[in-house]
Amino acid sequence: MRQQPRRRTVGRYAVQLAALALVTATVTILSGCGQPSPVDTDDGVGPTVSVALQPTLRPDTSTPDPVDPSAASSGGLFDASQALVSQACTATGDVWSFTGRLENTDTAEHAFTVGVFITATADGTQIGGKEIVVTVPAGGSAPVTAKNFFTGRTQGVECLSGVTVKADD
């Protein structure tokens, strides 16, 4: 038996063409969904949103005013660290002692306060300390000592000192 080629009927073409038209129309309609439609708004009114001009940020390159170490700080105290001309902070066993020498180069007598502190090297917390007040005559010098001012550990700590002098009233 010999097979004959199938012939497509006009009706079949019409169904395929209608399906293709339907798909094309659906895609066209859906592609326009949610899109704003252009509206002629030439009513002579400009946009209602405006943005102020923003300044350009630049890095701060200013330098702070230099601090005069001889100027009084809060409380009328002056940094007098240059007056401590020699110092030694030592531990014997677990007992700390401090010795030093103060020189007063001023023309007036001053009472110097020497602070000696043991601080943790890891975070700088103060573990112990002492303040010593020494009066030094004008142009003179005097020893400063703090024997056995702290008993405690010697590992992981450091000894720091500072000197202030109170401003004359």
Q: pLDDT exceeding 90 applies to what percent of the chain?
A: 43
Kindly report the pTM of this predicted structure. Answer: 0.54
For each of the domains in the chain, give its residue range(s) and CATH number, in order of start.
77-166 (2.60.40.10)
Q: Does 42 score more than 70 pLDDT? A: no
pLDDT of the residue at 89: 93
Please state whether 30 falls in left (phi above 0), alpha (psi between -120 and 50) or beta: alpha
- Average pLDDT on 151-168 reads 87
pLDDT tens readout for residues 58-88: 666 766 666 555 555 555 557 788 899 999 9
Dist CA 138 CA 140 (whole Å): 5
Q: Which two tokens stand for residue 117?
A: 């502190």
